[in-house]
Amino acid sequence: MKGTGTTGRRFRGVLLDWRGTLVVAPTYRWLVRRGLQALARPDSDDDVEAVLARLRSADATEVGSSAVDADADLHRRVYARWFRAAGLDDELAAALYAVECDVAANPFADDVGPLLSALRGAGVRVGVLSDVHVDLRPAFGAHAIADGTSWADLVDVWTLSFEVGAAKPDPAIFERALRQLGLPAAEVLMVGDRGTHDGAAAACGITTLLLPPLGSPQERRLQRVLDLVLPGAVLPDT
């Protein structure tokens, strides 16, 4: 990597969204298939569609609200109500929720590791800011670095909705992240994939970069972060 000088640098901190930005966001079709597979049940397209049809028939308003991510217990209860309203048996409901909670099942983009390393090497503070009901630290910690550390060690602060009691687009979660970083909004870049949620950082004075939602781990989109934070720096190929 080159071009990491600090002269004239505008951003001293970066906040990274998780699903859709660093990892591929799961679909309900994927979730149902994984749940059926976990139970060794038939998982043909027709089998998956049959479960999806049941889910679509039930009111998912609460499930779609970001408020559920601000409280882990509420998240569990809301999903349980949805599965029950859809008429799913208890075993399948439990399997689907287990998949929903398995952060290790969400594949990271290939350029996440290089980005985190580049930012740490340049002295840029990094935060993970996510609407999520489970701890993301183990997912990052599972990616080892040659020096014996892990990706989790490259993250300075974790602002997870279920831990702070607020979820995007509530300004409170962005304000909490700024306090954790110890930086003013003008010196922080928020990186996400949803204008309705991540884009709300702009109202707090945080410059926001919205990327197309990650479609596969092979998509390399994070160079755009470096272009803003460390102009001239280039992420290595992986």
Tell me, what's the pLDDT at 151? Answer: 98
Taking the C-alpha atoms of residue 31 and residue 132, their distance in angstroms, rounded to an integer, is 16
pLDDT band per the 50, 70, 90 thresholds, residue 8 = low
Q: Which fold has domain 13-25+106-229?
A: Rossmann fold (3.40.50)
Tell me, what's the pLDDT at 195? Answer: 95
Tell me, what's the pLDDT at 1? Answer: 38
* In the chain, domain spans: 13-25+106-229, 28-105
Say yes or no to pLDDT of 201 above 80: yes
pLDDT band per the 50, 70, 90 thresholds, residue 59 = very high
List of E strands, the chain: 13-16, 125-130, 157-160, 188-192, 207-210
Average pLDDT, the chain: 95
